[in-house]
Chains A and B, each alone.
Chain A
Amino acid sequence: MNTFVTETVSILTNAAMLFVVAAGLTLVFGALRLINMAHGSLFMVGALTVASLASGLTGGWGFAVALIAAVGLCAALGAGIEISILRRLHDREPLAQLLATFALVLVAADLAQRVWGTSDRTVATPVAGRFGVGGAVVPEYDLVVIGIAAAVALGLWLLLTRTATGWRVRAAVEDPETLSVGGTNLALLRTSVFALGAGLAGLAGAAIAPLESVGPGLDTQIIVAAFIVTVVGGLGSVVGAALGAVVIATVEGLGTLWVPSYASSAGYLVMILVLAVRPWGLFGTPDR
């Protein structure tokens, strides 16, 4: 019973973080047809920003302020990148866009090292308690992370189904040509979605910072996991991202319990398996 509770909480926490990261990546792909390799870099910037600010702002509210600042900064950076660089490439083949974002990964890694240095930082956990369920221990902050992911899921659902902008984003995923004929400013939409994706990456980084060591290398650590989840769920689908996150987190979590030596390869194996059976991911559309 103990193991069950602890395992479930840890899987949900892992899934929560993966979902927030993957949701941004999948939305950007859906609306812009762009695989953003720099998504991991934005994750890292979010974490580093919180690490810098949280030392000055203490307590739970201080952390919340730092988190909001990190999200804002990443969204702004995302908008800047889209306007200055990605806009020039939006009608080019996917490889060119992918390589451009890869170039940005290199640039971002260097600049982050210049600004924040090479040593690892930590962020004080804003909610440091834990409570027992039966004999199992559940850290309170894990529940905060799960809560953040749930809020993001709810917010995205409301945005995409209840607002006009959301409808436009979904239309852009399905059929951009017709959308532009209808008078929508596609360029503004693209920039907004990219900024939203960037903000989500920053949010994930900021939320997970108290549980990690924050330093260089965080960008490459997260990006491959983000790709796996996004692809398994299907590029462009937020529901897919949620399901993919749960699947991957479950496989990894159970893997560490049952076949520890192969648990780290589990994610890749699942991705290959899913794509072999359904070559466009669980919720993806076949023509992309």
Chain B
Amino acid sequence: MARFNTQRWTGLAAALLMCGTAAACANAAASAGGSGGAGVGSGSGGTVTIGESTTLSGSIASLGQTGLQGVQLAAADIDAKGGLLGKQIKVVSADDAATPATGVSNVRTMLDADHAVAIFGPVASSVASAEEQVTNAQRIPIFMHTSNDIGLTTTTYSKYVFQDVPNTVMEPRAAADYLATQLHGKNVSIATFAPNYSFGQDTVAGFVQALKAENVHYTLVKQEFPPLGATDISSYLAAIESAQPDYVFNAQFGGDLVAFTKQAESYGLFAKTKVIAMYDYSVLQSLGSAAPTGAIGFDRAPYWTDENSTMSAFVSEFRAKYGDAPSEWAILGYAAVQQWAWGVQHANSFSGDAVSAALSGATPPTILGSRQIRACDHQTELPEYVGTVSAQAASSSDSTHLWDTPAFEAQFDQIDYSCAQMTALQK
């Protein structure tokens, strides 16, 4: 290798130059295309852009996709009523493949090239933390409507962050509260089953702590932490079986919970034990007639427990457009856009500072009702719902088993950290 190949090096330099020019041109073109008509709060007509980078491929794709559908529907509904401050809302979206670096790239492009004025959150909490760094630095509001790790409103929090999903502290507390109302001081044996990562571990820890706080008499007979996405959990199930608990608290969600239910059913677990898990619409829909009757489910926004007319109208509209009832992610996504739009209306501006200030402590009306956005951590004060899986299908055309009504509503102030506790964590 003592001699340089002239051709090779000239060619290489040329290639780099070409790539560089091409990339620069592409970026210049993209930014030129997006720069027209996105003036902040000035004049009427034109469009304003909001962005959602979320997971649209892989095992959590359905959470991202339904959440995006909720956001898109909300924007379309606002446009149908004349838009926001005279402008039509355009939604740009991209797949982050559950990778923080890709989420960061997407959000940066949306802010720089598309001039997005608000960002709506992803599925994975790690991606959300990374995106928060970008939106905080650029003073753009970000609305989390799927990822719900408590770190998002504490360690990486800023005044531009909004969270309308009940967080990782609230859900297990709600489940424990429900259990307390059912037991009336009886002594029970409990086993826990959670995916082996921070969400699972935090949820289980929260549940056990809440049981203690509620003075429930329990014995913890088994704790299992299978890896996230494990295909065969029969050994874990066998271990739970042998401990013969009265209740099993399961912190799995989505596909993992479906697999658990199928395999647990083959062991006859549901006949001997009451399982408490996140039996939401997507999971119940996947299970169909194999849904575990009598199991206890908790959900962040089950549409069927809310009888108010705005929710029913939304459900029919969603069904008409997408062919399915809305999942909780779609509902929370829709509500998040409603909150943002309300903030824009009241601030009469699209600027991040103005909108964030307008929303802090406010009570915007959404399909989830009029809920206050708490000033200390911008958490929407939503209840968490707990209910039992019904023995009957929802209707003759839909084989999904929903919950028996009425469902138990764990009130926000009973289950979330107080403002004092949140502010202490935000330091």
Contact = CB atoms under 8 A, between A and B. Distances in A.
A141 B235 contact: no
A102 B224 CA distance: 34
Nearest to A12: B234
A212 B230 CA distance: 10
Nearest to A18: B232
Interface stretch (B18-26, B172-180, B181-189, B257-265): B257-265
Contact of A120 (B57, B238, B286, B290): B286
Interface string B249-280: 00000111111001101111000000000000
Contacts of A216: 57-59, 61
Nearest to A15: B232
Given A13-B232, A216-B61, A260-B225, A141 B266 contact: yes
A7 B234 CA distance: 8
A101 B201 CA distance: 37
A120 B235 contact: no
Given A6-B238, A7-B235, A215 B262 contact: no
Contacts of B263: 211
Contacts of B62: 117-120, 215
B65 interface: yes
B242 A217 contact: no
A252 B266 contact: no
Contact of A113 (B60, B61, B226): B61
Query: Number of contact residues on B: which range applies?
Result: 35 or more
A261 interface: yes
B234 A10 contact: yes
B196 interface: yes
B236 interface: yes
Contact of B231 (A125, A225, A256): A225
| Band of interface residues on A | 35 or more
Interface string A215-236: 1111011100100000000000
B286 A213 contact: yes
Contact of A109 (B57, B224, B265): B57
Interface in A1-54: 2-3, 6-7, 9-11, 13-14, 17
Interface string B49-61: 0000000111111
Contacts of B60: 217
A217 B282 contact: no
A121 interface: yes
Contacts of B262: 122, 125, 210-213
Nearest to A10: B234
Contacts of A130: 266-268
A170 B61 CA distance: 42
A216 B286 CA distance: 13
B229 interface: yes
A262 to B, nearest CB: 10
A3 B241 CA distance: 9
B73 interface: no
A253 B28 CA distance: 56
B287 interface: yes
B58 A220 contact: yes
B235 A253 contact: yes
A128 interface: yes
B196 A261 contact: yes
A11 B254 CA distance: 25
B242 A2 contact: yes
A110 B56 CA distance: 10
B221 interface: no
B285 interface: yes
A14 B226 CA distance: 15
Contact of A118 (B61, B258, B268, B287): B61
B237 interface: yes
A221 to B, nearest CB: 5
A15 to B, nearest CB: 10
B193 to A, nearest CB: 11
A256 to B, nearest CB: 4
B224 A260 contact: yes
Contacts of A178: none
B239 interface: yes
B238 A10 contact: yes
A13 B232 CA distance: 9
A82 to B, nearest CB: 26
Contact of B266 (A14, A121, A128): A128
A264 B196 contact: yes
A14 B259 contact: no
Contacts of B36: none
A7 B242 CA distance: 10
Contacts of B289: 124
The 4 A-B residue pairs whose C-beta atoms are closest, nearest first, are A217-B59, A213-B258, A10-B234, A264-B227
Given A6-B238, A120-B255, 4 more contacts: A7-B238, A118-B56, A122-B288, A216-B58
Interface of B: 56-62, 65, 196, 224-227, 229-232, 234-239, 241-242, 254-259, 262-263, 265-268, 282-283, 285-290
25 contacts: A3-B242, A6-B238, A7-B238, A10-B232, A10-B235, A10-B237, A14-B232, A14-B235, A118-B56, A119-B62, A120-B258, A122-B288, A128-B266, A137-B241, A137-B268, A142-B266, A211-B263, A213-B286, A215-B255, A216-B61, A220-B58, A256-B235, A257-B235, A260-B225, A264-B227
Interface of A: 2-3, 6-7, 9-11, 13-14, 17, 109-110, 113, 117-122, 124-125, 128, 130, 136-137, 139-142, 208, 210-213, 215-218, 220-222, 225, 252-253, 256-257, 260-261, 263-264
